[in-house]
Amino acid sequence: MPSPLICSPEWQALQGHQQTIAGLRIQSLFAIDKNRFKHFSLTLDGMLVDFSRHFLTNETLPLLLALAHARDLPTWIARMFNGEHINNTENRAALHIALRADKPVYCDGRDVTADVQRVLAQMEKFVTAIRSGIHTGFTGQRITDVVNIGIGGSYLGPQLACQALRPYADGSIRAHFVSNVDGENLSAVLGGLNAATTLIIVVSKTFTTQETMTNAQAARHWLVAQLGSESAVGQHFAAVTSNTEKVAQFGIAPQHVFEMWDWVGGRYSLWSAVGLPVALYAGMAAFQALHAGARVMDAHFRDTPLAHNLPVVLGLLDVWYINFFNTQARAVLPYAQALSRLPAYLQQLEMESLGKSIARDGTTVDYATGNIVWGEPGTDSQHSFFQLLHQGTLLIPADLIAGCRSVAGFREQHALLLSNYFAQGEALMNGKADANSPQAVVAGNRPSTSILVEELDAKHLGMLLALYEHKVFVQSVIWNINAFDQWGVALGKQVADRILPTLAGDAKTATFDASTNGLINFYKEHRP
């Protein structure tokens, strides 16, 4: 028996509708409706989202919105903002919106924004002390370099934001990131640094993540060896975590420990003290502007009717393609070098949140859920994988993202960049028919969303990231899955923990399956 979702009249109506419009050319919709751009785009505080280049007729959105209502989306949005335990498998709220709220947000009867404000004030004090040179290193020298040791949500957001805000940073502090347990990562970063002027921030919600703990210990050894004293750790280490017990064992000074809470998911945590490297690198005002941007999107998501609600429209578009066109991937194409880590950030946000096949009620889903999200900045990606987007056999919707103004210098090049940005959306849709050979024909009819902001500053970055956070939530509601857990990731960690002891010594292993044994034994034979 198919699931209630598949059986619902709203789902069935969308299936029927898809069949009637399957052969449609997106281009032709512009001829039918001269105001299509106006009808299929939305603006919000310096952000324009154009979704006119999609397989959307006048009937499609109402049908998708009917599905959203049938799935009680407005109630779910309210439940999230009200701090209910919507992360059901971990029995927790998902309250990243509280991290940037300017009004009380309640969780289990408590206003959690008081805690948030306390940590933000602690951050501000620390950032001011470091950036002004009041807080120096062990030898009295100014801190010039910050190393973030963390992985997944404890790294991707801050790294993205630091890169994105580089044009706004004053250059007094450099930010570095170590995530991989591969020693090459740590070695490459520490190799270029002077311990006397380096602050190391260990970021881990759990403070148990193997990669982070290993790198943190190695960095501690490096620092103590360089500065010749254990006492140096106090001035050169900070931590961001919800596990205050473990952090005390590591020996980090309590005033340099920044708390986060179990109601913040790792991949939703940039807005918490996880953003400390961003505040150190670009300044507290930039971090606050990031919050302000996210707040604009939060209010929009909470208060705007579904039909004009940006995260709702984008979430429903993904449902439309994934479930009714059977697409398996979406390309994220920032026309901004500063957003070069956006695809990686969104990979975690979307694939860790939506890569689920068990519904909230414990049943196995009989419909597709999260898909592959990948991308690279334009224009580089035009010279690598765009060929497949234009002429391959897969249908891959694309998000094209750009800022109108350049603040990075070389301003005359910005028009060149944007001409490519505008061109790709058009080329994907229109293709090219009049060609001399069949191979030169570009079929077009490839859907894309264009997101254009006034400037890719901290505020608009905040809006953009919150837009994607809420889009993911919308999809999870339609699919009845929990976007806030990640049980699948734990398995690999557990297996690695079982394997590690067997790597000691030269004796051949026969403990695991034949493939794993074979690989381990080859490794043992060939390692020095």
Contact (Cβ atoms closer than 8 angstroms) between residue 56 and residue 46: no
Closest CA to 481 of 329, 313, 373, 357: 357
- Cβ count within 10 A of residue 368: 16
Return all residues near 528 (Cβ < 8 A) that are at least 6 apart: none
Integer angstrom CA distances of residue 494 from 356, 417, 489? 19, 45, 9
Residue 478 Cβ vs ligand F6P, minimum distance, rounded to whole Å: 22
Which residue minimizes CB distance to ligand F6P? 266
Q: How far is the CB of 311 from ligand F6P (least distance, A)?
A: 21
Distance between CA 485 and CA 294 in Å, rounded?
Answer: 22
| C-alpha distances out from residue 128 to 118, 122, 123, 133, 330, Å | 15, 10, 8, 8, 41
The only residue of 137, 266, 283, 377 in contact with ligand F6P, by rule CB under 6 A: 266
Q: Is 209 in the site for ligand F6P (CB under 6 A)?
A: yes
Q: Does 153 bind ligand F6P (CB under 6 A)?
A: yes
Task: Kindly tell me which residue out of 54, 96, 131, 205 binds ligand F6P, with binding defined by CB under 6 A.
Answer: 205
352 is catalytic: yes
Angle at 180 between CA 175 and CA 181, to 5 degrees: 125
Site for ligand F6P in 461-490 (CB under 6 A): 486, 489
User: Considering the rule CB under 6 A, would residue 152 count as an interface residue with ligand F6P?
Assistant: yes
89 contacts ligand F6P (rule: CB under 6 A): no
Q: Is residue 406 involved in binding ligand F6P (CB under 6 A)?
A: no
Among 18, 185, 206, 337, the residue binding ligand F6P under the rule CB under 6 A is: 206
Catalytic residue among 10, 350, 352, 376: 352
Residue 508 annotated in active site? no
> Quick one: which segment of 199-207, 230-238, 318-326, 376-384 binds ligand F6P (CB under 6 A)?
199-207
Using CB under 6 A as the binding criterion, the count of chain residues that bind ligand F6P stands at 14
Q: With contact defined as beta carbons under 8 Å apart, do 145 and 201 qualify?
A: no
450 is an interface residue for ligand F6P by CB under 6 A? no
As measured in angstroms, the least distance from the Cβ of 259 to ligand F6P is: 13
Q: How far is the CB of 70 from ligand F6P (least distance, A)?
A: 31
Find the shortest distance in angstroms from Cβ 254 to ligand F6P.
20
Q: Is 204 in the site for ligand F6P (CB under 6 A)?
A: yes
User: What single letter denotes the amino acid at residue 507?
Assistant: A
CA distance 315 to 293: 20
Catalytic annotation, pick one of 39, 308, 432, 493:
493
Least separation, in Å, of the C-beta of 486 and ligand F6P? 5
CA distance 328 to 372: 6
The 10 Å CB-count burial string (b at 16+, else e) for 270-296 is: bbbbbbbbbbbbbbbebbbbbbbbbbb
> Does the annotation count 221 as an active-site position?
no
- Judged by CB under 6 A, which stretch of 105-113, 126-134, 151-159, 337-345 contacts ligand F6P? 151-159
How many angstroms separate the CA atoms of 286 and 280, rounded? 10
From 34, 38, 383, 526, active-site residue:
383
Among 212, 235, 382, 449, binds ligand F6P (CB under 6 A): 212
Report which residue type is found at 261: W
Output the six-digit token pair for 239. 């931590």
The catalytic residue positions are 352, 383, 493
Q: Which residues bind ligand F6P (CB under 6 A)?
A: 151-154, 204-206, 209, 212, 266-267, 352, 486, 489
